Amino acid sequence: MSGKHIKLLLAGGLLVAAGVLLAVRFRPTAPLSEDINFICAATGHTFKLDRRELSRIPARNPKTGEYTLFPCYKSEGVLYISPRHSGGLRELGEKNRYVDPETLAVRPPQ
């Protein structure tokens, strides 16, 4: 192959790579849900709160007025709070009756 063919192949490869990168970068994404799932560390009950109304975590429990709500997610059938909120969980101290401070797994209320 001549130098000209190699340059054309390289240029074509770069164009394809650039096209793939642009397609991945600008592909449509699903909109974020407006509601976030929360667990109350004091009662074990779950809540859905509007993300636009959140100002702090732990969030305020609408039933008790206490700041004991943490965002949660489900993995393999178990609810967990995010490790990023473990400090806030420790600050609750004795109020936390349902979230294991080591694993951050939520024990369902009885």
- CA 59 to chain CA mean position, Å: 16
How is the chain split into domains, by residue range? 1-30, 35-95
Q: Which long-range contacts (CB under 8 A, 24 or more apart) does 25-34 make?
A: none
Token match 């965002």: residue?
71
- 25-57 pLDDT, tens digit each: 777 666 666 778 899 999 999 999 888 887 888
- 4-26 pLDDT, tens digit each: 778 777 777 777 777 777 776 77
How far apart (Å, rounded) are the C-alpha atoms in residues 70 and 50? 13
**pTM of the model as a whole:** 0.68
Nearest Cα neighbor of 92 from 52, 48, 42 is 42
How far apart (Å, rounded) are the C-alpha atoms in residues 75 and 50? 22
Mean pLDDT of the chain: 84
